[in-house]
């Protein structure tokens, strides 16, 4: 159990907030963020990703968890914001975020999304390929919007992570391989045909949930050597390098991530070293933490329903599942589970935790240890702050849960629970005559 949690009278408290109170006032399933823990992690990035030789920028990868309140917090810390869709951009707009500090990613931005970014004054667009560069130039031809541009490149670093979240192997759908110099130069030349587009540099991202700091060092070394080659061949100075994110977090005791301060200083030190050694014109370096900001500050709370024994399993059924956390099904992700209402007992019960969807694979854990339990107990899952809400669905017409911040006993609602009316709000009945046989 995390040392940020407290147990009072057998019950787990999150930021001095009773889990029973959370369940009673907000219902379950429920997404919970420990606001002081969230602020602490953001402060660590702000305080440690600094350099006396280079400008530094922290860009929150909002795909990990995007909502109005989260964007407000990002703005408060002075971070920039990474968006990957028109929907995330619209959320930034509605949260009164300074759109000049927004970075628009994506490997297949639509014309409508690019137009939206141009019209709203997005500060930086990260171009993924030559076709997109040509579309951006064409769409921005008749405007006077000044937009900074980075090109996503693929350095070919394969970090040790799940195959679905490796993003830098040679056949990745993201970016252009650094081996493909001619296409990269074609993108740079294309961007420079539009006087309102400013080519600043390159972006790279080597994967997610990476624990080996040497992987980031290898990325930085390879990108900087690539930039030297580009500068020598084109005489175009590269001023910005964005090294992405992917910093590992703790889901279970098997995960041993480096401290945020260590990750930040490793990246800064290696970048300073390589930029100086290769005499690059780079003035700014960026990182894009997402999961590493929100994951460990987040929790999910369920109510235990029916219990069932089969010849080989003891099932706990909960009132959520793959619709509110698909990561166990999609990535075989592991979590720590606690019976929040019997939290100080030893974990002696081996159980399979199953969701309520009509899918045999709807399992949050196939075999995990928990404290003794009974129906109506509360089950707490730790480190669910990243990609739980973001990837939630309405499969089986299940409503997406509400989201709250908790702060020293105070419950702060930030996203309302869907109602049944919400579920069918976009649906229409058709003329009965069309249905007659």
**Which H or E run contains 112?**
helix 111-120
Report angle CA 52, 282, 84 to the nearest 5 degrees: 100
Please choose, from the candidates 298, 198, 279, the residue with its C-alpha nearest in 3D space to the C-alpha of residue 231.
279
Beta-carbon contacts of 122 under 8 Å, excluding residues fewer than 6 positions away, are 89, 99, 100, 102, 103, 104, 147
In sign, the C-alpha dihedral spanning 68, 69, 74, 78 is: positive
213 close to 266: Cβ distance less than 8 angstroms: yes
Point out the catalytic residue in the list 67, 224, 352, 358: 358
For residue 397, how many other CB atoms are within 10 A of its CB? Answer: 10
Q: Cα-atom radius of gyration of the chain, to the nearest Å?
A: 23
In sign, the C-alpha dihedral spanning 168, 384, 327, 89 is: negative
Could you give the CA distance from residue 127 to residue 105 in angstroms, rounded to a whole number?
A: 7
Could you give the CA distance from residue 307 to residue 353 in angstroms, rounded to a whole number?
A: 10
User: Between β-strands 102-104 and 17-18, what pairing exists: parallel, antiparallel or unpaired?
Assistant: unpaired
**Catalytic-residue membership of 26:** no
Could you give the CA distance from residue 401 to residue 377 in angstroms, rounded to a whole number?
A: 18
For residue 98, how many other CB atoms are within 10 A of its CB? Answer: 12
323 close to 357: Cβ distance less than 8 angstroms: yes
Please choose, from the candidates 56, 67, 7, 10, the residue with its C-alpha nearest in 3D space to the C-alpha of residue 33.
67
Residues annotated catalytic, as ranges: 358
């Amino acid at each position: 159990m995390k040392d940020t949690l407290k147990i009072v009278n057998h019950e787990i408290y999150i930021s001095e907030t009773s889990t029973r109170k959370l369940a009673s006032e907000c219902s379950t399933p429920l997404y919970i963020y420990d606001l002081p823990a969230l602020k602490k992690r953001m402060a660590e990035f702000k305080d440690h990703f600094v350099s006396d030789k280079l400008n530094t920028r922290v860009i929150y990868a909002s795909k990990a968890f995007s909502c109005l309140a989260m964007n407000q917090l990002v703005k408060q810390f002075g971070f920039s914001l990474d968006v990957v869709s028109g929907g995330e951009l619209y959320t930034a707009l509605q949260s009164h975020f300074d759109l000049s500090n927004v970075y628009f990613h994506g490997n297949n931005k639509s014309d409508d999304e690019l137009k939206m970014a141009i019209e709203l004054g997005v500060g930086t667009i990260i171009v993924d390929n030559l076709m997109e560069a040509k579309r951006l130039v064409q769409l921005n031809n008749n405007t006077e919007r000044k937009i900074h541009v980075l090109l996503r490149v693929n350095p070919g670093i394969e970090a040790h992570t799940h195959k679905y979240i490796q993003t830098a192997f040679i056949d990745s759908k993201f970016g252009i391989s650094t081996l493909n110099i001619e296409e990269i130069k074609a993108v740079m030349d294309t961007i420079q045909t539009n006087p309102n587009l400013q080519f600043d540099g390159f972006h790279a991202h080597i994967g997610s949930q990476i624990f080996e700091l040497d992987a980031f060092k290898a990325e930085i070394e390879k990108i900087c050597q690539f930039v030297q080659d580009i500068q020598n061949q084109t005489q175009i100075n590269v001023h910005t390098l964005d090294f992405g994110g992917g910093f590992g977090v703790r889901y279970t005791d098997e995960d041993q991530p480096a401290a945020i301060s260590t990750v930040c200083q490793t990246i800064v030190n290696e970048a300073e070293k390589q930029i100086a050694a290769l005499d690059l014109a780079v003035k700014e370096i960026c990182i894009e933490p997402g999961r590493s900001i929100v994951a460990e500050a987040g929790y999910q709370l369920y109510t235990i329903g029916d219990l069932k024994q089969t010849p080989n399993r003891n099932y706990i059924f909960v009132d959520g599942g793959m619709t509110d956390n698909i990561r166990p099904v999609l990535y075989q992700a592991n979590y720590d589970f606690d019976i929040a209402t019997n939290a100080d007992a030893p974990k002696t019960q081996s159980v399979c935790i199953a969701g309520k969807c009509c899918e045999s694979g709807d399992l949050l854990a196939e075999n995990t240890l928990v404290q003794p339990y009974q129906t109506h107990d509360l089950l707490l899952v730790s480190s669910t702050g990243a990609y739980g809400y973001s990837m939630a669905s309405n499969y089986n017409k299940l409503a997406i849960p509400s989201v709250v911040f908790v702060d020293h006993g105070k419950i702060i609602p930030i996203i309302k629970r869907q109602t049944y009316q919400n579920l069918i709000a976009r649906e229409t009945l058709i003329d009965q005559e069309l249905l007659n046989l």
